[in-house]
Amino acid sequence: KDVNADGEVKKPHWHVLMMYNSKKSFNQIKRLTDELNAPIPQPCRNTKGMVRYFVHLDNPEKYQYRKEDIRVYGGADIKQHLTSASEQKNERYDGIREMCKFVDEHGIIEFSDLMAYAMENRADWFELLCDNSAYVIGLYIKSRRHKQSDNVGAKQHLDE
């Protein structure tokens, strides 16, 4: 559905980004692209930009392909490249807010209980806890635990 500047429809084509855990030589990649009858491979200097280019996220004048149509193989994680920094930040804060409410509603006072729940039921929470939110959630749970014990002590003191 891509068109040239003159409005002529481009021939159907694929964009492919190959990523590896270790360095690969140009010749190693070229052998593979030759087997696919693909153009000469080019090094990618900006993975995020390339992934966003696949669906024209930053080019509203071009046809907008669906993010869901990108095919990913070998465990590559492109989700982080498809959202802006502010969207990622908002998603993270929404997840933390959800976890805090869950902690309150279920009376959770141990981090391990929340982590076990997340591992079994909420992959999105599990990722947040593993990647960047464990500290704040851990402090929140710890604060609830201390608040509970303080309230019990205060109640006992008032009953005396």
Each residue's pLDDT tens digit in the chain (160 positions)? Answer: 888 888 889 888 888 999 888 999 999 999 999 999 999 999 888 888 899 899 998 888 888 998 888 998 888 888 878 877 777 788 889 999 999 999 999 999 999 999 999 999 999 899 999 988 999 999 999 999 888 777 655 445 445 5
* Partner residues linked to 9 by β-bridges: 3
**Domain count within the chain:** 2
Provide the sign of the torsion angle of the four alpha carbons 38, 42, 43, 45, taken in this order.
negative
Q: Are 120 and 79 in contact (CB under 8 A)?
A: no
Mark whether 76 and 92 lie in a shared domain.
Answer: no
The radius of gyration of the chain's CA atoms, rounded to the nearest angstrom, is 24
Mark whether 14 and 58 lie in a shared domain.
Answer: yes
Mark whether 2 and 51 lie in a shared domain.
Answer: yes
Domain of 94 in residue numbering reads as 85-159
Distance CA 112, CA 114 (A): 5
Q: Point out the domain boundary residue: 27, 51, 81.
A: 81
Q: Are 2 and 63 in contact (CB under 8 A)?
A: yes
Mark whether 2 and 73 lie in a shared domain.
Answer: yes
Q: Point out the domain boundary residue: 43, 63, 81.
A: 81
Q: Point out the domain boundary residue: 81, 109, 128.
A: 81
pLDDT (0 to 100) of residue 140? 96
Mark whether 148 and 104 lie in a shared domain.
Answer: yes
